[in-house]
Amino acid sequence: MGEPGIVRPARRPPGWCAPGPAPLGAQGRPELTPAADEDLCFLSGDWRLFQKRRGHRWSLDDLVTAWVATASASERASALAEASVDRAAAEASAALAPPARALDLGCGLGSVLLMVAWRLPHAQLLGVEAQADRAALGRRSIAYNGAAARCQILDGDLRALDTRRALAQAGPFSLITGTPPYFPRGTGTESTTAQVAPCRFELRGGVEEYLTTAAPLLAPGGRLVVCTAALERARVVAASRASDLTLVEHWDIVPRQGKPVLVMVDVLRRADDPGPTAPPGDSYTLTVRDRDGAWTTPFRAVRSAMGLPPTSPTGR
3-state DSSP of the chain: CCCECEECCCCCCCCCCCCCCCCCCCCCCHHHCCECCEEEEECCCCCEEEEECCCCCCCHHHHHHHHHHHCCHHHHHHHHHHHCCCHHHHHHCCCCCCCCEEEEECCCCCHHHHHHHHHCCCCEEEEEECCHHHHHHHHHHHHHHCCCCCEEEEECCCCCHHHHHHHHHHCCEEEEEECCCCECCCCCCCCCCCCCHHHHECECECHHHHHHHHHHHEEEEEEEEEEEEHHHHHHHHHHHHHCCEEEEEEEEEEEECCCCCCEEEEEEEECCCCCCCCCCCCCEEEEEECCCCCECHHHHHHHHHCCCCCCCCCCC
Q: What pTM value is reported for the model?
A: 0.87
How distant is the alpha carbon of residue 232 from its chain centre?
Answer: 18
The pLDDT assigned to 65 comes to 97
Which pLDDT score, from 0 to 100, does residue 206 have? 85
pLDDT score for 159: 92
Q: What is the pLDDT along the chain (316 residues), one digit of tens a residue?
A: 456 799 999 889 999 999 999 999 999 999 999 999 999 999 999 999 999 988 778 999 999 999 999 998 778 877 877 444 443 443 333 344 567 899 999 999 999 999 999 999 999 999 999 999 999 999 999 999 999 999 999 999 999 999 999 999 999 999 999 998 755 544 444 445 555 444 454 555 689 999 999 999 999 999 999 999 988 889 999 999 999 999 998 999 999 999 999 999 999 999 999 865 555 545 789 999 999 999 999 999 999 999 999 987 665 5
Domain limits, the chain: 58-305
pLDDT digits (tens, 9 = 90+) for 34-62: 999 999 999 999 999 999 988 778 999 99
pLDDT at 201: 47
Question: Cα(294)–Cα(280) distance, rounded to whole angstroms?
Answer: 31
Beta bridge pairs of residue 175: 102, 223
Query: Quick one: pLDDT at residue 282?
Result: 59
Using alpha carbons only, how large is the chain's radius of gyration in Å? 19
pLDDT for residue 87: 39
* Cα dihedral: 84, 74, 308, 306 (round 10): -120
Least Cα distance to 116 among 144, 142, 137, 91 occurs for 142
Superfamily holding 58-305: Vaccinia Virus protein VP39 (3.40.50.150)
13: preceding bond cis by omega (within 30 degrees)? no
Q: Could you give the C-alpha distances from 73 to 70, 231, 288, in angstroms and in order? A: 10, 27, 20
